[in-house]
Amino acid sequence: MGRKIVCTGRGGTGKTTFVALLTKYLPHPLLVDADSDQNLADMLGVDLGEEGIRTISEVLFDIQKERSYEELSSLPLPEKIEYLLNTSCLYESERFDIISIGVKWTKGCYCMPNNVLRSIIPKMADSYEYTIIDSPGGLEHLNRRVVSEVDDIFVILDPSRKALKNVERMRKIASEIGIRFSNLYLIANYRFKEDVEEYIQDIGDYLGKIEYDPLLEKYSWSGKSLLELPSNSPALSSVEKILKRAGYKLR
């Protein structure tokens, strides 16, 4: 059974960047982009649309509206969704695989597909040593219960009281809906000053700060993969230290 990691935080804190940088150090992870912004693949230099890869929401929408997939009409719904996720929604590469949940496209009841989805994604994750979930800032990943058991939650914080309050809110929601996790780690983004970091240490396991790296923005604007950052990148080096403090054995 693989290790499941959730990265979360308020919008704009840099959690998607952190997920991309994690991918540099973990061997061939499954990446689950659960954020409606769907920026993770772009940060890794992949245009999923050009690759013909669909989001899970697009596939569920077509199933809900009974569009296409006539050749799969004889399959039970769970088998149909599992087949389409593996053939239409999963992008595979040498360094990582990625699947994007996408946004809900229409009103209506998605109870049955969502229930099936909650069983399929953990099943997919079991085939990987590491699964990393890039979650929405609004904690929708917990409400959807894409996974109900997590090893590590990494919370990326910006220097604001709202960010600190969000940590307690997340703990409460996780408890209320039965999400189980082994570790909850706090990480400061590059905007933190040293004299403010002490406030983080009072509310949980603080692993350190993601250092500012001017190349990050340059790579993002050009569509270049963050995996290609030079080895002396301050951002990469800080993420490596964070993972080591969390007890990870890096490749």
The pLDDT assigned to 215 comes to 94
33: β partners: 100, 134
Q: CB 181: neighbour CB atoms within 10 A?
A: 17
Would you say the C-alpha torsion 172, 173, 177, 178 has a positive or negative sign? negative
The pLDDT assigned to 21 comes to 96
In a domain, 250, yes or no: no
Least confident of 93-97, 163-167, 198-202: 198-202
In a domain, 147, yes or no: yes
pLDDT band at 115 (very low <50, low <70, confident <90, very high): low
In a domain, 126, yes or no: yes
Q: CB 90: neighbour CB atoms within 10 A?
A: 17
Residue range(s) defining the domain that contains residue 143: 3-245
Per-residue pLDDT tens over the stretch 186-223: 999 998 887 667 778 777 789 999 999 999 989 988 88
Q: DSSP string of 95-111?
A: S-EEEE-----SSS--H
The pLDDT assigned to 141 comes to 55
pLDDT band at 104 (very low <50, low <70, confident <90, very high): low
Q: Which of 43, 115, 37, 125 has the alpha carbon at shortest distance from 86?
A: 125
Contact 46, 93 (CB under 8 A): yes
Per-residue pLDDT tens over the stretch 28-66: 999 999 887 789 999 999 999 999 999 888 888 877 776
In a domain, 38, yes or no: yes
- Is the model's pLDDT at 23 over the cut of 90? yes
The pLDDT assigned to 94 comes to 94
Phi, psi of 52 (to 5 degrees): 75, 20
In a domain, 146, yes or no: yes
Structural domain count, the chain? 1
Strand order in the sheet with 90-92: 90-92, 97-100, 30-33, 130-134, 3-8, 149-157, 180-188, 205-209
φ/ψ region of 45 (left if φ > 0, alpha if ψ in -120 to 50, else beta) reads left
Please tell me the pTM assigned to this model. 0.89
Report CA dihedral (222, 224, 226, 231) to the nearest 10 degrees: -100
Residue with tokens 């769970």: 78
Assign residue 233 the CATH number of its domain. Answer: 3.40.50.300
The most confident of 109-118, 160-169, 177-186, 189-198, by mean pLDDT: 177-186
